[in-house]
Amino acid sequence: MDRAVHLDGITKRFPGVVANDNVTLEVERGGVHALLGENGAGKTTLMNVLYGLYEPTEGRVVVDGTEREFDAPADAIDAGIGMIHQHFMLVDPMTVTENITLGNEPRKWGGLAVDRATAREEVQELSDRYGFAVDPDATIADVSVGVQQRVEILKALYRGADTLILDEPTAVLTPQEVDELFAVFEGLTDAGKTIIFITHKLGEAMTAADDITVLRDGKGVATVPAAETTRESLAEMMVGREVLMDTSDRPHDPGAETLRVEGVSVTDDRGVPAVDDVSFSVREGEIFGIAGVDGNGQAELIEAITGLRDPSSGRIDFEGEDIGSWSRRDRIDAGMAYVPEDRHERGLVMEFDLTESGILGSQHGEPFTSNGRIDWDVARDHASNIVETYDVRPPDIGAKSAALSGGNQQKFIVGREFERDPSLFVAAHPTRGVDIGSTEFIHERLFALRDDGDGVLVVSSKLDEVQLLADRLAVIHDGTLMAVVDPDDVTEEELGLLMAGERPARQLESQRVDGGEP
């Protein structure tokens, strides 16, 4: 095997945590290698070792047959390693060329000035060489997320990267942009480049990768050829047990409306319109899904429904009552649970311990408060139940919320909201950052709420998730509902077009926003 990268027995310890435990990774040159694992498995830590952000506690890093010691990312870049992080590191007001060449600009006049013409030519040549179709003169703020990602890849290539690491590269892309990214992978590997991409999505690993390495609890489980494995097998390796992959095939019997949104418009924090005249309803005993690329108004819409933002116009009814004047606490008391998009800003107080965070929103009434005083014994029992039932790690109710990983913070919030026994459960990205085993559990609980006759409103940018969960599915683009469709009668490609603001060639049968027969 001609190895581009060989990580030999990598162990990385942090105080009280072993993030990587004797992990070996062999990556063949000119191929695509997926690093697959659930939240906290050690994937990003391992790649941060390769990129020079962390020094390994034990083990060797071998690049192109030479053992290396990286003190900083600059050393890894010099060795031909480039990393594209999940959150892009681009300067919005600057052009594509300026971002790609930033810090490495060609100079003229004896180094006194940037040679902008040469920089543009170099970027254009690089874009053409790999078929990226990126405009060197475009401003980053004006291009799509998919193009921004290509700019990040070009930045790494401009600095001489032969091996590219991409951390969750499809997290913010439409299906069409995912397909385009995988086509970019093919072009890069055809040119001799090597790609390692971190993912928790089984289907993408099997589609895009030549080989897949699975990590679990910081240890390497196996490396398998993508063509010789199955989703079920990979899921079992990730979790350590058999995972039920599809829980959607069950009857449901929707009842009366529990939520009605009528002609609602909402502005964002800057006063700019974010939601434009949106109407839909959620019925008892159904899951209503909203799909869309992040940043298209779904966050502001959900905040208006849950009482965190006032709509500029329109009406919101909950169980037949106009709740426009209700506070967030009123809505909680009436039976509206909410898993927020931003768990740090909206879901937890980071300096609170889990006992305190477990009663947020319910701390003013029974069973947690009596005669104006909080019963901390009851609160601790409540937090312990959440931690045990929802597998929150570490199981320490005295730990601060900030001490938990993102995935465990999410599990704690989801558990707290389920335990409210709501009649309407509103969830914005309920499984974001959560491992496959916990995702399965959360999905089961959402279906159980629906089967018990409760209404569920789910917003997700993950099409496979929202298609799996929803009984009716709306697509939002630029603050407008493009369509409300039957998730069983629409393809992922058609949903992707709707998410991009385009109409599919096929006329889709639209469902009524109130859930009745068309």
Instruction: Spell out, as residue ranges, where the chain has pLDDT lower than 70.
Output: 1, 39, 243-251, 433, 505, 509-513, 515-518
Per-residue confidence (pLDDT) for residue 186, from 0 to 100: 93
Which tokens hold the place of 244?
Answer: 């039920």
Same domain, 169 and 199: yes
Considering the domain boundaries, does residue 439 fall inside one? no
Q: Nearest CA to 286 among 454, 490, 448, 458?
A: 454
Same domain, 384 and 345: yes
Ranges of H-type helices in 285-326: 298-306
Which residues 6+ apart lie within 8 Å of 25 measured at CB? 5, 6, 7, 10, 35, 46, 213, 220, 223
Considering the domain boundaries, does residue 247 fall inside one? no
Contact 104, 81 (CB under 8 A): no
Which residues 6+ apart lie within 8 Å of 4 measured at CB? 27, 28, 29, 30, 63, 64, 162, 163, 194
The phi-psi region of residue 386 (left if phi > 0; otherwise alpha if psi is between -120 and 50; otherwise beta) is alpha
In the chain, what is the straight-line distance between the N-terminal and C-terminal CA atoms, in Å?
59
Which tokens hold the place of 287?
Answer: 């899951």
- CATH number, domain with residue 58: 3.40.50.300
Residue 145 has φ and ψ, to the nearest 5°, of -60, -40
End of a domain among 399, 421, 443? 421
State whether residue 371 is helix, strand or coil. coil
Considering the domain boundaries, does residue 382 fall inside one? yes
Same domain, 82 and 65: yes
pTM for the model = 0.70
Which residue in this structure is represented by tokens 């909201």? 417
Per-residue confidence (pLDDT) for residue 518, from 0 to 100: 44
Considering the domain boundaries, does residue 250 fall inside one? no
- Distance, in Å, from the CA atom of 28 to the CA atom of 488, rounded to the nearest integer, reads 39
Per-residue confidence (pLDDT) for residue 504, from 0 to 100: 81
Considering the domain boundaries, does residue 436 fall inside one? no
Amino acid letter, residue 307: G
Same domain, 152 and 291: no
Amino acid letter, residue 437: G
Same domain, 151 and 199: yes
Q: Residue 434's Cα: distance from chain center in Å?
A: 9
Q: What is 24-59 written as a DSSP string?
A: EEEEETTSEEEEEE-TTSSHHHHHHHHTTSS--SEE
Ranges of H-type helices in 214-373: 231-239, 298-306, 328-333, 354-357
Contact 289, 446 (CB under 8 A): no
Which tokens hold the place of 215?
Answer: 């990590």
- Distance, in Å, from the CA atom of 321 to the CA atom of 208, rounded to the nearest integer, reads 49
**Quick one: angle between helices 406-418 and 376-389, nearest 10?**
120
Same domain, 225 and 370: no
Per-residue confidence (pLDDT) for residue 245, from 0 to 100: 55
Considering the domain boundaries, does residue 461 fall inside one? yes
Same domain, 285 and 348: no
Counting the structural domains of the chain, the total is 3
Considering the domain boundaries, does residue 245 fall inside one? no
Dihedral (Cα; 192, 195, 201, 206), 10-degree rounding: 30
State whether residue 158 is helix, strand or coil. helix
Considering the domain boundaries, does residue 37 fall inside one? yes
- ∠ CA 137-140-145, nearest 5°, is 125
End of a domain among 239, 274, 301? 239
Same domain, 268 and 291: yes
Whether the CA torsion 210, 215, 216, 220 is positive or negative: it is: positive
Same domain, 327 and 341: no
Same domain, 90 and 220: yes
Range of the domain at 87: 3-239
Same domain, 319 and 366: no
